[in-house]
Structure 1
């Protein structure tokens, strides 16, 4: 019976860690949350090893406990889910949730839809593209053009990612679409400064959170995770840059 409880604790901790890692949390936050949750359920010694693609977790007790490994193949950015898991973790630390209640709440977070619809994300990407253009000293006459190019890039990113679930390919194709739309808008006279339009339009694709997490993981001593996230951010930046460069070389 006691051993079964230990396995249940591992399941809860691993589920929390998986949700954090999948939705954009830093590696050290994942490990710290899992350790605190295990301690709240009476496990004084626990060990975890977290990388961007997997979690290894074990607890030390008088009885032999097998180490468990889970694979994390898909990652996105949903800070609402990260906040929800942190809130559940705090409730566990305060003793307000039992093991079963914590597991059920975590499953609810896992099965919940994103808090923003695709239409809301599309509108936000479009408006932010125009705002980035102004931030980079662009002309207000190009605001609409940046919105159109940025929105088109965001739509194409979602489409190509569903068509071919390879992040690099989707980002490369989205940047090509942004470049083509920007050149087309300038050609018909709706846009004026093509460089500012492109810069503003690609900003929603830039992996800002990934770069931030890579730096924070490196500073926290998680060298493997920091380097891998940095490499992923570099590939994204390379995909964006190469896509725009290809369009400019061919059509400009």
Structure 2
């Protein structure tokens, strides 16, 4: 009996860790619940129940074990971790690996930072901003300004987010920097179309994945998670819009 309870505890720890990694990496709520329940069934836990939200997970095995809750305070977009957790889940449900091996892999995934170095992220944001300018039919003369604004804006986002840990403030400040760069570039004759420079430069800040996940959760019937993610996306959009409005008010 004691051995069975210990095995159940290990299983619950493994499932909660998998769900935690997925939510912290920006996965949809229904995907998290589906993954955890599939992993539970592979361990012959057919009565398992799971309820996931963007800020926490509740997991229960019914009457046999106490209900476990884990809170989640930070969320980023890391598709690499989501893919790795899905891979562990598939191999566990196919009995290609044991529960202990799956748990060890998940702990390794949680500890590993799969993000590119900051300078490469800034470079990617700069190039993406320039490409968005061309896609929006902007002039090639504004291409360097868009790259500069997008790159510096993303750099400000990373720095402020690291210093304050307040997402709204970091996004507002980054958008403010982009707006001022676009404003002064046009004022001093370096830029020609301020609207397209601003639109293209803020694209790396736009919460596209968050909006997509919110819609997918709503369509899957997870209304609370969908509304929460939608509200988070709205706050990001509001931060961007408010900062640009401030710069255009000069």
TM interval, shorter chain, is over 0.9
* Residue 75, structure 1, aligned to residue 75, structure 2: yes
Match for residue 25 of structure 1? 27
Q: Point out where structure 1 has 5 or more consecutive residues left out of the alignment.
A: none
Match for residue 52 of structure 1? 54
> TM-score, normalization: structure 2?
0.97
Match for residue 237 of structure 2? 237
Q: Which runs of 4+ in 1 moved over 6 A?
A: none
Question: In structure 2, do the counterparts of structure 1 residues 115 and 242 end up closer, same or farther at CA, with 3 Å as the change threshold?
Answer: closer
* Matched position secondary structure for 1:230: helix
Report deviation, 1:189: 2.0
Match for residue 125 of structure 1? 125
Match for residue 92 of structure 1? 92
Match for residue 12 of structure 1? 14
1:203-214 → structure 2 map (5 Å cutoff):
203-214=203-214
Query: Which one is further off, 156-165 or 220-229?
Result: 156-165
CA–CA separation in structure 1 for the residues paired with 2:194 and 2:97: 55
What RMSD, in angstroms, separates the aligned Cα atoms of the two structures? 0.9
CA–CA separation in structure 1 for the residues paired with 2:93 and 2:162: 40
Query: Which one is further off, 115-124 or 100-109?
Result: 115-124
CA–CA separation in structure 2 for the residues paired with 1:161 and 1:108: 25
CA–CA separation in structure 2 for the residues paired with 1:199 and 1:238: 14
Match for residue 186 of structure 2? 186
* Matched position secondary structure for 1:56: strand
CA–CA separation in structure 1 for the residues paired with 2:25 and 2:49: 22
Matched positions, count: 248
Match for residue 138 of structure 2? 138
Report deviation, 1:188: 2.6
CA–CA separation in structure 2 for the residues paired with 1:29 and 1:120: 30
